[in-house]
Amino acid sequence: MSQETAKSQSLNLLSVVIPAQNEAECIASTVGHLHLELSLRHIPHEIVAVDDGSTDATWAVLQDLQKTITELHPVQNLGEKGFGRAIVCGLDSMQGDAVVIMMADESDDCRDVIRYWELLNEGWDCVFGSRFIKGGGTIDYPRFKLWMNRRVNFLIRIMFKINLNDTTNAFKAYRKVVIDGCRPFLSPHFNLTVEIPLKAIVRGYTWTVMPITWRNRRTGVAKLKLKEMGSRYLFIILYCWLEKYFSRGDYRKKSPQQTAGTGAG
């Protein structure tokens, strides 16, 4: 990529969207550590923490934390609840031209957010983290969950013919143009973690993969219920697969030349 091209694609503000439901025990630590890392690297940022109908003190903790971290913007999901809906609420509220989606339980490493930002600024549309490539890793990953993860991701790799082995992981980064180009979102729950990257790939946005680390939550209760999510994941995977092979490119990313040529005759 030329220096001129890279400069034209440079970014101004990073939004980090964090969906949170009953995370009062850990949300302050997650936000505090993230803000510290980004501030030390002088990365302009906002943290959009979305309270998804918590019944504990999550919202109160966020409001109190905002008094000392002005970059924190707490948002309440006032519509129907669900992990995917909470993320979309955060995406609708963000002001940045790039976004990282991150978990509230500190399972994702804040230092990886720095590398996401750097790679996006190299000109990539999307950056996907993988826990299962050289340099990545997991700590205390539940055995059955890991077994299911590897099989679902293998299926996705075969169906879409892509060299990405951790599509289901939520912790990813996108330019805002990708988020806008992948709307509307259909997934109300954790299947949104598959919908966004697969739509981005199918629609022709550029992407790269980097190693990330993940550790199991130390407080609270995991929200992902594998038995409930199987059919939902399958629906979204098949939906994106049908778009890839049967939509005739109707939703693909448009080049500036193509966009300029779509005016009325």
What is the band of 144 on the pLDDT scale with cuts at 50, 70, 90? Answer: confident
Beta strands in the chain (DSSP E): 14-20, 45-51, 72-76, 98-101, 126-130, 137-139, 172-175, 207-211, 213-215
Provide the mean pLDDT of the chain: 90
Which tokens belong to 68? 């000392």
Query: Cα separation of 44 and 46, whole Å?
Result: 7
The whole-number pLDDT of residue 264 equals 37
**Residue length, the chain?**
265
Domain count, the chain: 1
Average of per-residue pLDDT across 69-85:
97
> Whole-model pTM?
0.89
The CATH number linked to 132 is 3.90.550.10
Q: For residue 39, tell me if it sits in a domain.
A: yes
Amino acid at 126: C
Beta bridge partners of 126: 174, 207
CB contact at 8 A, 126 and 205:
yes
Q: How confident is residue 65, by pLDDT bands cut at 50, 70 and 90? A: very high
- Give residue 180's pLDDT: 98
Where is pLDDT greater, at 144 or 187?
187
Q: Is residue 69 part of a domain?
A: yes
- Higher-pLDDT residue of 224, 9: 9
| Structural domain boundaries enclosing 168 | 12-248
Q: Is residue 262 part of a domain?
A: no
pLDDT digit string, tens, across residues 78-102:
999 999 999 999 999 999 999 999 9
- Distance between CA 108 and CA 131 in Å, rounded? 10
DSSP at 251:
T
Q: What is the pLDDT of residue 219?
A: 63
- Identify whether 255 is part of a domain: no
Share of the chain above pLDDT 70, in %: 88
* Residue 222 domain-assigned (yes or no): yes
